């Protein structure tokens, strides 16, 4: 209570509530609103709308068709996260379906690192001496050295990627590139041009797991992709759903982001992600069950390692006023340092860097908070970096171990000039202030139309002040949650506040609360329930 500052996005009470919610998401015109509630199928969206250069796209298609005609050896070069795995599966399956001489390849996170390198090219040439076409998915846009090396060895490279390009473009044959969609989204557009297939469900997994804003073209991919996912024929995904105790016909964006994607990611974090790719592509139900069990076990192991390492990291945290959090240790498994950094940000709300310290080189992962561009800031110290890349909110880099302490000190001094008290306090963004008399079944049903929810399109949230507590009781294990009956404007609603069991609230006073509206079903009964995000004692 009091941890957040509340920011009401739309302060105009004259607006229709749904109009205000749309306005908050940047959806203003009639056309945009129609598209939001009834998005076009991804196949109806143009290359330009996807942010893909049509001329370059055609160059890539021509080279692939040439390879198909000549039976060239093709390798699809992927990545080890859920988006990269999905993208690899999409392009490999499309080419295989067309009869191509093609194999998928995902680099080893620990020996090769992210993306293509000259050593990766050497590995591929040793394995496939006749390799003549390499198609990257979810990587490659900054792999200048590796692509030049591939060219020197007679290999054409088609880059399909969604990451931010560097100052200098690689000398690739052609590019299928867009920053509007994720790696598997780009892969879907390419594969779908070559041959039709059931890849939209994979593009949805990649879009959600890579935390793309669920608006515009990404909303189309996820809305239709989730529908396909609920009817999937993929043995591996069906087995994975069973392992996770999920009902196949009710898969939503939350399930993908927090239950399915972590299991697909776990292999790449702890071992090698090839088994995640095998799970997606297998047609053997027995093999699917075995692989799903393996992924589940690896995810459990990953959770345990994160928990143990996070305890170590927390003990090392020293909150320098106005500074970042930076911890390094030899015991940190480099596959999970990003998760540790995310947990530190969640608990302390500071930009956090976690470093897996090696003898010569160390691997680092960084996560940030709103208002502090982590990758732009890290690049100011590129004299210390061996390699690196990322986004405003997340980055990864390799650094010489001897430079770790100097880098941390200098980076922290730099960050202090930008991390003021305002930035370092969590902001809870609220869509609109309403009264209880605004809440009804019609509003609840309209809120359901906002699905799929996620980044860029969060669950609508509301603020209501001076609410009376009619009933209050602790529920759940050890009373960790609070269940309420709340009243205002002559109406009463049930409410749940998860994780608020320790908060002391005077039942005789009035409260202000931020909440979402949802349907609660139990024993054949349905009611509107308020899901409380934060609460304060009302001002007198």
- Domain borders along the chain are 5-34+427-537, 42-199, 317-416
Question: Could you write out the three-class secondary structure of 333-350?
Answer: CCCCHHHHHHHHHHHHCC
Report CA-CA distances (Å) from 265 to 23, 302, 303, 351: 35, 10, 12, 23
Evaluate whether 367 touches 389 at the Cβ level (below 8 Å). no
- Tell me the mean pLDDT in the region 295-309: 96
Is 60 exceeded by the pLDDT of residue 2? no
Q: What are 131's strand-pairing partners?
A: 73
| Average pLDDT score, the chain | 94
- Distance CA(165)–CA(101), nearest Å, equals 30
| pLDDT tens per residue across span 220-268 | 999 999 999 999 999 999 999 999 999 888 899 999 999 999 999 999 9
pLDDT band per the 50, 70, 90 thresholds, residue 523: confident
Give the fold, CATH level 3, of 5-34+427-537. OB fold (Dihydrolipoamide Acetyltransferase, E2P) (2.40.50)
| pLDDT tens per residue across span 330-362 | 999 999 999 999 999 999 999 999 999 999 999
Domain 42-199 listed as CATH 3.90.1640.30: yes
Per-residue pLDDT, 109: 83
DSSP line for 355-416: EE--SSEEEEEEE--TT--HHHHHGGGTTSEEEEEE-SSEEEEEEEGGGHHHHHHHHHHHHH
pLDDT band per the 50, 70, 90 thresholds, residue 14: low
Domain 317-416 listed as CATH 3.10.310.30: yes
Evaluate whether 222 touches 209 at the Cβ level (below 8 Å). no
Which residue blocks in 114-182 are alpha helix, DSSP H?
A: 118-127, 144-152
Report CA-CA distances (Å) from 360 to 233, 399, 400, 402: 47, 9, 6, 7
What pTM was estimated for this model as a whole?
0.92
| pLDDT tens per residue across span 279-293 | 999 999 999 999 999
Per-residue pLDDT, 540: 65
pLDDT band per the 50, 70, 90 thresholds, residue 20: very high
Q: Is 161 exposed, middle or buried (0-12, 13-18, 19+ CB in 10 A)?
A: buried
- Tell me the mean pLDDT in the region 167-196: 96
Per-residue pLDDT, 164: 82
Residue 117: closest CA among 131, 102, 134, 101: 134
């Amino acid at each position: 209570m009091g941890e957040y500052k509340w920011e009401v996005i739309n302060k105009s009470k004259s607006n229709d509530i749904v109009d205000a919610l749309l306005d908050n998401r940047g959806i203003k015109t009639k056309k945009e609103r129609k598209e939001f509630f009834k998005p076009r199928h991804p196949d109806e969206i143009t290359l330009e709308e996807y942010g893909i250069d049509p001329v370059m796209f055609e160059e890539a298609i021509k080279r692939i068709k040439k390879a198909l005609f000549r039976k060239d050896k093709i390798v699809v070069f992927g990545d080890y996260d859920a988006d990269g795995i999905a993208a690899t599966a999409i392009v490999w399956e499309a080419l295989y379906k067309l009869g191509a001489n093609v194999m998928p390849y995902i680099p080893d996170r620990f020996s090769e690192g992210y993306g293509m390198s000259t050593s990766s090219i050497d590995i591929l040439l040793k394995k496939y001496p006749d390799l003549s076409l390499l198609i990257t998915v979810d990587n490659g846009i900054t792999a200048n050295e590796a692509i030049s090396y591939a060219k020197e060895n007679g290999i054409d490279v088609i880059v399909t990627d969604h990451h931010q390009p560097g100052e200098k473009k690689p000398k690739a044959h052609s590019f299928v590139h867009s920053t509007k969609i994720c790696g598997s989204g780009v892969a879907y557009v390419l594969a779908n041009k070559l041959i039709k297939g059931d890849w939209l469900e994979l593009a949805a997994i990649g879009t959600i797991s890579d935390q793309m804003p669920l608006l515009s073209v990404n909303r189309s991919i996820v809305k239709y992709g989730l529908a396909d996912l609920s009817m999937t024929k993929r043995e591996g995904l069906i087995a994975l759903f069973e392992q996770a105790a999920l009902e196949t016909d009710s898969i939503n964006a939350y399930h993908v982001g927090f239950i399915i994607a972590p299991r697909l990611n776990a292999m790449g974090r702890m071992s090698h992600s090839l088994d995640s790719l095998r799970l997606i592509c297998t047609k053997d139900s027995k093999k699917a069950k075995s692989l799903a069990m393996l992924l589940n076990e690896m995810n459990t192991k990953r959770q345990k390692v994160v928990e143990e390492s996070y305890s170590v990291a927390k003990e090392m945290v020293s909150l320098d006023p106005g500074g970042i959090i930076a911890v390094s240790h030899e015991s940190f498994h480099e596959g999970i340092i990003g998760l540790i950094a995310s947990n530190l940000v969640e608990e302390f709300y500071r930009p956090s860097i976690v470093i897996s310290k090696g003898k010569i080189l160390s691997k680092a992962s960084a996560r940030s908070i709103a208002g502090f561009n982590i990758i732009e800031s890290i690049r100011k110290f590129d004299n210390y970096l061996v390699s690196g890349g990322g986004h405003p909110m997340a980055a990864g880099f390799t650094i010489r171990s001897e430079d770790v302490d100097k880098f941390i000190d200098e980076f922290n001094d730099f960050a202090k000039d930008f991390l003021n008290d305002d930035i370092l306090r969590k902001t809870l963004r609220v869509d609109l202030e309403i009264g209880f008399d605004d809440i009804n079944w019609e509003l609840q049903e309209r809120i359901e139309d906002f699905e799929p929810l996620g980044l860029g399109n969060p669950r609508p949230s509301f603020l209501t002040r001076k609410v009376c507590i009619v009933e209050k009781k602790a529920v759940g294990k050890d009373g960790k949650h609070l269940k309420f009956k709340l009243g205002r404007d002559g109406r009463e609603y049930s409410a749940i506040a998860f994780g608020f069991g320790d908060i002391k609230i005077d039942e005789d006073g009035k409260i202000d609360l931020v909440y979402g509206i949802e349907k609660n079903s139990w024993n054949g009964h349905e009611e509107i329930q308020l899901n409380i995000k934060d609460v304060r004692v009302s001002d007198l």
